[in-house]
Amino acid sequence: MYTQCPECLSVFSLDAHTLAQAHGHVVCGHCDTSFDSIATLTEQLPPEPFRELPINDQAYQPPRIDLVVYRPQPLPPAVIDAVVTDQDAALEPATSEEDFSQLVFAPRFVRQKVGKESRRSQRRANKQRARGERHWPWVVAGLLLLLGLGAQLAWAKRELLIRDPVVGGWLREACSQLGCELPLVAAPQQLRLLASNVQAHPSVSGALMISASVRNDAIFAQPFPVLTVTLSDAQGQRIAMRRLQPREYLDDTTILRHGLAPGASAALLLEVEDPGDKAVAFEFGFE
């Protein structure tokens, strides 16, 4: 067997008796360095030239040895009693013939086969560990792609999520903590007309002034609606209709950007052309 000094890299030949004397710890005869000879212990040297012998991998669990080559027979009862009663008495060597009936010999090729299997298992374990280390970047990339896909789906379905009482509440609470604003979601069916009035314009002839009060009954903010004003005669026939965009009846861009808050009311003032005396009824609609 061979071992190598870690300081001067000298390679020495040693036997089992030398290993057993200090449980593997030896002193280099070249540089006087004390080292563990088992760390680089090998039965065969690699092809020359070489610099360092490979370091033996430390087992996580003590290896189990099963190839029995000799097992001593238990002492006879008489000898055991003699040892217990008189420890100072010298035991005479046994003259009887030794029993080799239970002796098991392990051929050399069996030991070599077991060693090869052990090295093969170690290489498989090293390959599996290296394969696991190579897989984690792909796992991280897959998680990032899933997060990106989830964000895209959430943005595509943002109106449904904001309208949802539970999810929308979470989103509004999170935005209030982060200082962000949710996009406005239109729900004209949840706008309520509180009051309305039509009168002649006080300063412009041939024009009408229409006032309306609107409240947002939704649990989320929504943009100001497209307002539809319909004028009809006494028979209910439609005389005139006008669709007004939010920027036509509101000139404050800040109010338009923030929309109508949940539960908030807004007063709208409209100026339209007077269709004449035939118009006796009017109707509001939200789009």
pLDDT of residue 215: 92
Q: Which residues contact 200 (CB under 8 A, 6 or more apart)?
A: 207, 208, 209, 274
pLDDT digits (tens, 9 = 90+) for 263-275: 888 888 877 777 7
The token duo for 134 is 């190579």
Domain extents in the chain: 1-56, 65-74+102-156, 157-183, 188-286
* Stretch 91-116: mean pLDDT: 55
pLDDT band, very low/low/confident/very high, at 149 (cuts 50, 70, 90): confident
State the Cα–Cα distance between residues 259 and 286, nearest whole angstrom: 15
Residue 13 has pLDDT above 80, yes or no: yes
Residue 97 has pLDDT above 70, yes or no: no
* Stretch 160-187: mean pLDDT: 75
Instruction: Give the residue ranges of DSSP H helices in the chain.
Output: 16-21, 77-85, 108-156, 158-163, 165-178, 246-249, 253-258
Residue 2 has pLDDT above 70, yes or no: yes
pLDDT of residue 95: 45
pLDDT of residue 94: 44
Residue 14 has pLDDT above 70, yes or no: yes
* Mean predicted lDDT score pLDDT of the chain: 77
pLDDT band, very low/low/confident/very high, at 106 (cuts 50, 70, 90): low
Q: What is the CATH number of domain 188-286?
A: 2.60.40
State the Cα–Cα distance between residues 36 and 27, nearest whole angstrom: 9
Contact 32, 20 (CB under 8 A): no
* Stretch 184-203: mean pLDDT: 83
pLDDT band, very low/low/confident/very high, at 102 (cuts 50, 70, 90): low
Residues paired with 232 in a beta bridge: 238, 281
Prediction pTM value: 0.40
